Amino acid sequence: MIIAEIKHLEEVKQMLEGYGKVLNVGCGGCVAVCLAGGQKEVDTLNTQLTASLRTDGEATQIDGFTVERQCEVPFLAELDEMVEQYDALLSMACGAGIQFLAERYPHKPVFPGVNSVFVGVNKDVGWYEQRCKCCGECVLATTAGICPVTMCAKSLFNGPCGGPQDGHCEVDKDTPCAWIQICERLTAQGRLDNILEVHGPREWEGQTQSSLVLEQYKHRYAKDEGE
Amino acid sequence: MGNLRNAPYKIHVSDEALTEETDSMPKDAEIPVDRDKIKAMLKRKKGRMKMCLAACAGCTLCAESCFLFMGNEQDPGYMPAYKVLNSLGVLYRKGGKVSRAQLEEMRELVFKRCALCGRCYCPFGIDLPNMLSFARSILRSQGIYGMYPHSVGSPEAEALGEEDNVRPPSAE
Amino acid sequence: MYDLVFGPLMWLTTLIFIGGVGYRAYQLVQLTKKKDRARCPATAIREDSPEERKFRPIVRLQNSVLGQHPIMAIVSFVFHVCLFAVPVLCLGHNETLYQFWGICFFSLPDALINIMTIIVLVGGLFFFLRRMAVPRVRAVSSTYDHLILLITIAPFMTGFFAYHQWGDPRTMIIIHALTGQLMLISIPFTKLGHMVFFFFARCLLGSEFSFGRGAREWAT
* pLDDT at res. A204: 79
Q: Burial level of B59, CB count in 10 A (0-12/13-18/19+)?
A: buried
Question: How far apart (Å, rounded) are the C-alpha atoms in residues B29 and B20?
Answer: 8
Q: Where is average pLDDT lowest: A86-95, B86-95, B140-149, C43-52? A: B140-149
Of the residues C62, C210, C211, the best mutation for testing chain A's interface (the one with the most A CB atoms within 10 Å of its CB) is C62
Closest residue in C to A48 (Cα) is C55
Q: Which of C215, C220, C157, C201 is nearest to C35 (CA)?
A: C215
Q: Which of C59, C206, C210 sits opposite A48 (nearest CB)?
A: C59
Query: Measured between CB atoms, does A40 come within 8 Å of chain B?
Result: yes
- What three-state secondary structure class fits A131? strand
pLDDT of B11 > 70? The answer is no
Count of structural domains, chain B? 1
- For residues B105 and B89, the answer to whether their CB atoms sit within 8 Å is no
Give the residue with greater pLDDT, A73 vs B4: A73
* pLDDT at res. C86: 97
CB contact under 8 A, C208 and A10: no
Question: How far apart (Å, rounded) are the C-alpha atoms in residues B6 and C143?
Answer: 10
Domain assignment present for residue B154? The answer is no
- Chain C neighbors of B6, CB-CB under 8 A: 138-142
Query: Measured between CB atoms, does A77 come within 8 Å of chain B?
Result: no
Question: How far apart (Å, rounded) are the C-alpha atoms in residues B80 and B66?
Answer: 7
- Chain A neighbors of B118, CB-CB under 8 A: 32-33
Nearest-Cα distance to chain A for C200, in Å, is: 17
The residue type found at B76 is P
* pLDDT at res. B21: 43
* pLDDT at res. B8: 38
DSSP one-letter string for A13-70: HHHHTT-SEEEEEEESSHHHHTTSSSHHHHHHHHHHHHHHHHHTT---EEEEEEES-T
Nearest-Cα distance to chain A for B168, in Å, is: 6
Geometric angle at alpha carbon C48, from C42 and C49, rounded to 5°: 120
Question: How far apart (Å, rounded) are the C-alpha atoms in residues C122 and A19?
Answer: 48
Domain assignment present for residue B119? The answer is yes
Query: Measured between CB atoms, does A160 come within 8 Å of chain B?
Result: no
pLDDT of C129 > 70? The answer is yes
- List Cβ neighbours of C143 (8 Å cut-off, separation of 6 or more): B2, B3
Residue-range domains of chain A with CATH: 2-118 (3.40.50.2300), 135-196 (no CATH)
Rg (CA), chain B: 17
Q: Which of C188, C185, C161 is nearest to C175 (CA)?
A: C161
CATH of domain C2-17+49-189: 1.20.950.20
* pLDDT at res. B2: 33
* pLDDT at res. B154: 73
What is the number of alpha carbons within 13 Å of residue A219 lying toward its C-beta? Answer: 11
Q: Which of A38, A65, A216 sits opposite B167 (nearest CB)?
A: A216
CB contact under 8 A, C139 and B61: no
Domain assignment present for residue B135? The answer is yes
CB contact under 8 A, A67 and B71: yes
The residue type found at B108 is E
- For residues B51 and B130, the answer to whether their CB atoms sit within 8 Å is no
Enumerate the β-bridge partners of residue A23. Answer: A63, A89
- What three-state secondary structure class fits C95? helix
pLDDT band at B4 (very low <50, low <70, confident <90, very high): very low
CB contact under 8 A, B68 and A28: yes
Of the residues B66, B69, B117, B156, the best mutation for testing chain A's interface (the one with the most A CB atoms within 10 Å of its CB) is B117
DSSP one-letter string for B32-86: PP-HHHHHHHHHHTHHHHHHHHHH-----TTGGG-HHHHHTTT-GGG-HHHHHHT
- For residues A37 and A162, the answer to whether their CB atoms sit within 8 Å is no
Which chains share 3+ C-beta pairs under 8 angstroms with C? A, B
CB contact under 8 A, A28 and B118: no
pLDDT, tens digit, for every residue of C74-94?
Answer: 999 999 999 999 999 999 999
- Chain B neighbors of A216, CB-CB under 8 A: 166-169
Percent of residues, chain B, with pLDDT higher than 90 = 66
CB atoms within 10 A of CB C15: 11
pLDDT, tens digit, for every residue of A29-67?
Answer: 999 999 999 999 999 999 999 999 999 998 999 999 999
- Chain C neighbors of A126, CB-CB under 8 A: 208
Question: How far apart (Å, rounded) are the C-alpha atoms in residues C58 and A83?
Answer: 29
Closest residue in B to A78 (Cα) is B71
pLDDT, tens digit, for every residue of B124-172?
Answer: 999 999 999 999 999 999 999 988 766 766 776 677 665 554 444 444 3
* pLDDT at res. A29: 96
Closest residue in A to B165 (Cα) is A217
pLDDT band at B19 (very low <50, low <70, confident <90, very high): very low
Percent of residues, chain A, with pLDDT higher than 90 = 79
CB atoms within 10 A of CB C135: 13
Domain assignment present for residue B109? The answer is yes
Enumerate the β-bridge partners of residue A67. Answer: A27
- What three-state secondary structure class fits B131? helix
Q: Which of A32, A72, A74 sits opposite B119 (nearest CB)?
A: A32
Virtual torsion, Cα C155, C161, C164, C167, nearest 10 deg = -140
pLDDT, tens digit, for every residue of C183-205?
Answer: 999 999 999 999 999 999 999 99
Which chains share 3+ C-beta pairs under 8 angstroms with A? B, C
CB contact under 8 A, B54 and C210: no
pLDDT of B28 > 60? The answer is no
Question: How far apart (Å, rounded) are the C-alpha atoms in residues A109 and A115?
Answer: 17
Give the residue with greater pLDDT, B11 vs B76: B76
* pLDDT at res. A214: 82
pLDDT of B16 > 80? The answer is no
Residues shown for chain B: 172
- For residues C86 and C117, the answer to whether their CB atoms sit within 8 Å is yes
User: What is the pTM for the complete model shown?
Assistant: 0.89
* pLDDT at res. A224: 77
Question: How far apart (Å, rounded) are the C-alpha atoms in residues C182 and C123?
Answer: 20
* pLDDT at res. B161: 62
- Chain A neighbors of C206, CB-CB under 8 A: 124-125
Domain assignment present for residue B3? The answer is no
Nearest-Cα distance to chain B for C190, in Å, is: 7
- List Cβ neighbours of B37 (8 Å cut-off, separation of 6 or more): B141, B142
Phi, psi dihedrals of residue A40, rounded to the nearest 5° = -65, -40
Residues shown for chain C: 220
Closest residue in C to A46 (Cα) is C59
Phi, psi dihedrals of residue A114, rounded to the nearest 5° = -135, 160
- For residues B103 and B140, the answer to whether their CB atoms sit within 8 Å is no
- For residues A12 and A113, the answer to whether their CB atoms sit within 8 Å is yes
- What three-state secondary structure class fits B141? helix
Question: How far apart (Å, rounded) are the C-alpha atoms in residues A10 and C50?
Answer: 9
CB contact under 8 A, B124 and C198: yes
CB contact under 8 A, C51 and A47: no
Residues 116-155 of B with CB under 8 A from A: 117-119, 149
Closest residue in B to C140 (Cα) is B5
Q: Which of B5, B64, B126 sits opposite C140 (nearest CB)?
A: B5
Nearest-Cα distance to chain C for B43, in Å, is: 11
CB contact under 8 A, A5 and C46: yes
CB contact under 8 A, B67 and A217: no
Nearest-Cα distance to chain A for B161, in Å, is: 14
Domain assignment present for residue B120? The answer is yes
- List Cβ neighbours of B111 (8 Å cut-off, separation of 6 or more): B136, B139, B145, B146, B147
* pLDDT at res. C101: 87
pLDDT of C174 > 90? The answer is yes
Each domain of chain C, given as residue ranges in start order, spans 2-17+49-189, 196-220
Domain assignment present for residue B17? The answer is no
Question: How far apart (Å, rounded) are the C-alpha atoms in residues A23 and C124?
Answer: 41
CB atoms within 10 A of CB B22: 10
- For residues A49 and A16, the answer to whether their CB atoms sit within 8 Å is yes
CB atoms within 10 A of CB B75: 19
DSSP one-letter string for A68-130: S-TTSHHHHHTTHHHHTT-SEEEE-S-HHHHHHHHHH-TTS-EEE-EEEEEEEEEEETTEEEE
* pLDDT at res. B31: 85
Mean pLDDT computed over every residue of chain C: 94
* pLDDT at res. A136: 87
pLDDT, tens digit, for every residue of B47-85?
Answer: 999 999 999 999 999 999 999 999 999 999 999 999 999
* pLDDT at res. B168: 42
Residues shown for chain A: 227
Which residue range forms the structural domain that includes residue B108?
28-147
Give the residue with greater pLDDT, B150 vs C2: C2
* pLDDT at res. B6: 37
